[in-house]
Structure 1
């Protein structure tokens, strides 16, 4: 009845994203950022020291910083402790009692994403962030008709909120590598549904590149995260000086990375990267061509 223990899986990369049916573009003056249910209670089902959670958190931290830089409202959802049977209703049948007073600390948003004073925190009652909340009114009052969605879980609350936004004439954007889910299959299912039925699916890098230069987007850490999403290695065992071919990186994956970097304003060739096929080797080559990049 409760949420099951969840396993780590690889977050999607740009080349694996579904094709969007619409050509909507995120415009900072029209957007609000929704950080969905990133509470200790929901994150804990991934277990301690989850690589997936670390990467999702890191991407959301970057999205939040970008939003504040562009004066974009940052909105959180958080379920309350000890909901009454009337308030919780059918959620009891599907998921059990949820948050309880037994450990009130679990209601808190994870420390890396703790809300600031000027952020908005909405009480979450159902899958959709719009249900019994002021979200629609907040968007209207701030003349925002685009909602950038990140958090957990992709195929439940994030997807339902995206569909609900669409039904209210708000353009939803689901950030493919800034949401977590029960499984890789369900994660991709959520992305497919949004892309083809109610919104647009984009990557964190696509968002950060809006109104920014490569110097504020591409970094050694981002490059490492991109590689870890492609190879079968735990983050703590990854050697930044090891030959990436020995990790199983193939030419198709490399070309996908080159395409991703081009969207960030960084143009490297296959031949240039083949000279030093390691994380540190690539970063040295990139910095040599783009000395303004820092890490």
Structure 2
């Protein structure tokens, strides 16, 4: 009834990524990153020093790092250590007592992905991260309608979370090389299902440039955050100093642009402080930006 020891297998190669029915593009201003069930308990079923798990964790770290830079909310799921039989219900029949019999240390999310204070941790009661949780409410509050999913296990909780997201009109980006499963076959099964029915299968390498692209929506949200005012009150032609922009915030914005290899000095930003002018300056340096 419990999970058996999992043999290592290679991450899906690029040639194994199924053809998607969708052509969605990940947008940092619309996205939430979900790191699914990365507790020691679930990872301990893999062999020690598993190449699969090392690769998955490395890719999740890359996604989380980019999320921090782009102010993408990061959500973790974690099963609770204390679960009464009535709370587990049918999970007892399928998996036995599960994490409730594990040592306390195994409840924790793996050290390499320890949540930050600003991250959200959801208690996980069922396969789907939406069940008996506030995930949907959080996404509505954040005004986000895209969900990037990585973690374990691909064909169970990750896949069913993707299906439920689709049914809530949320675009799913299922990161093939930021997932792990019981076997290569089940991993592929999950990718095929999501690509065919409820989301877009992608890779870490393909996804990072997409969520890294500086867009006009990103700029508007960034200025809104800097000034701590609602987006709809900003006139794109208006001098931002009239909204409370000061030299410290201009320096902060210039420093953040450097993270994206956009080098626009404090003095230049200060001479033309409006949304439209700043966007023109960014476009001149970033030829790949999407308007």
Which residues of 2 match residues 254-273 of structure 1 at below 5 A?
Answer: none
Match of 2:172 in 1: 172
d(CA) in 1 for partners of 2:138, 2:157: 19
Deviation at 1:15, TM superposition (A): 2.4
Q: How many residues align?
A: 213
Which runs of no fewer than 5 residues in structure 1 stay unpaired? Answer: 214-295
Deviation at 1:49, TM superposition (A): 1.2
Deviation at 1:212, TM superposition (A): 4.4
d(CA) in 1 for partners of 2:13, 2:136: 31
d(CA) in 2 for partners of 1:92, 1:184: 26
Match of 1:106 in 2: 106
d(CA) in 2 for partners of 1:91, 1:143: 33
d(CA) in 2 for partners of 1:183, 1:199: 21
The CA deviation string for residues 93-141 of structure 1, in whole angstroms up to 9 with x for no partner, is 0000011265111010000000000000000000000000000000000
Distance verdict in 2 for CA 1:186–1:102, change over 3 Å = closer
The CA deviation string for residues 211-256 of structure 1, in whole angstroms up to 9 with x for no partner, is 549xxxxxxxxxxxxxxxxxxxxxxxxxxxxxxxxxxxxxxxxxxx
SS of the counterpart of 1:187? helix
d(CA) in 1 for partners of 2:121, 2:212: 27
d(CA) in 2 for partners of 1:127, 1:16: 25
Match of 1:252 in 2: none
SS of the counterpart of 1:121? strand
Match of 2:78 in 1: 78
The CA deviation string for residues 153-189 of structure 1, in whole angstroms up to 9 with x for no partner, is 0000000000000011111110000000000000000
Compute the RMSD of aligned alpha carbons. Answer: 1.1
Residue 210 of structure 2 is aligned to residue 210 of structure 1 = yes
Match of 1:161 in 2: 161
d(CA) in 2 for partners of 1:3, 1:48: 16
Q: TM-score, normalised by structure 2?
A: 0.72
Is the contact between residue 82 and residue 101 of structure 1 (CA under 8 Å) also seen in structure 2?
A: no
Q: List structure 1 segments (4+ residues) > 2 angstroms apart after TM superposition.
A: 210-213
Is the contact between residue 39 and residue 108 of structure 2 (CA under 8 Å) also seen in structure 1?
A: yes
Match of 1:33 in 2: 33
d(CA) in 1 for partners of 2:163, 2:44: 26
Compare CA radii of gyration and give the structure with the larger one.
2
Distance verdict in 2 for CA 1:202–1:64, change over 3 Å = same
d(CA) in 2 for partners of 1:133, 1:10: 33
d(CA) in 1 for partners of 2:88, 2:171: 28
Q: TM-score, normalised by structure 1?
A: 0.71
